[in-house]
């Protein structure tokens, strides 16, 4: 479980393709002595398992299912990746409950400066659009964000300077595919009401 509060990005230093999967090595200024092999880390919002570690890096394997549902297959060496270690009992819950199970890929429609902030328009896959509501929460590349407005499958978010500075959101451009996780509470409510998207 995660909160979607990103405090650091890592850098992809190595990618190896193997048997329809990928091993990704990420250099990270995290307290690596506290992260054991087998631990979960959200990488651009995708919950991945640490399979190996070094003095300043972590390695993760992404299987075919992960590659089909996320943007991990598009990652390249040198790219920054939003990182969040798993939530511990007693940690501050500053964002919202994020599972790290990416629901699908959203598309950046526009990035527009707005004073000191930025306004982004994001297009969700049609099947996920019903789970997104004004003033609700979404995780985009692992970043917990509040939805400002919704028009069909397109929704807007506002990015403050701090978020712009400490995440990889400043690199997003029109047409980019980003990991989308909808609010899990919206999913459960829809299931209870029998209104799950097709």
pLDDT one digit per residue (tens) for the chain, 198 residues: 899 999 999 999 999 998 889 999 999 988 888 899 999 999 999 999 999 999 999 999 999 999 999 999 999 999 999 999 987 766 666 778 899 999 999 999 999 999 999 999 999 999 999 999 999 999 999 999 999 999 999 999 999 999 999 999 999 999 999 999 998 777 777 777 876 654
The structural domains of the chain, ordered by start, are: 8-85 (2.40.30.20), 104-192 (2.40.30.20)
Closest CA to 26 of 46, 5, 2: 46
pTM for the model: 0.92
CA dihedral 52, 54, 68, 125 (to 10 degrees): 130
């Amino acid at each position: 479980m995660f909160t979607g509060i990103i405090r650091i990005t890592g850098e992809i230093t190595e990618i190896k393709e193997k048997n329809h999967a990928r091993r990704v090595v990420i250099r990270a200024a995290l307290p690596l002595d506290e992260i054991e092999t087998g631990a979960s880390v959200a990488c651009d919002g995708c919950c991945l398992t640490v399979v190996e570690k070094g003095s300043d890096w972590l390695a993760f394997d992404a299987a075919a299912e992960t590659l089909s549902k996320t943007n991990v297959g598009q990652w390249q060496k040198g790219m920054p990746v939003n990182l969040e270690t798993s939530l511990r009992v007693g940690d501050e819950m500053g964002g919202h409950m994020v599972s790290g199970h990416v629901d699908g890929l959203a598309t950046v429609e526009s990035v527009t400066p707005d004073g000191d902030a930025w306004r982004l328009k994001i297009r969700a896959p049609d099947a996920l659009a019903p789970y997104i509501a004004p003033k609700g929460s979404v995780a985009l590349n692992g970043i917990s964000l509040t939805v400002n407005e919704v028009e069909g499958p397109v929704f807007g978010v506002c990015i403050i300077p701090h978020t712009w500075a400490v995440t990889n959101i400043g690199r997003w451009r029109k047409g980019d595919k980003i990991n989308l996780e909808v609010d899990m509470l919206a999913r459960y409510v829809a299931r209870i009401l029998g209104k799950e998207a097709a």
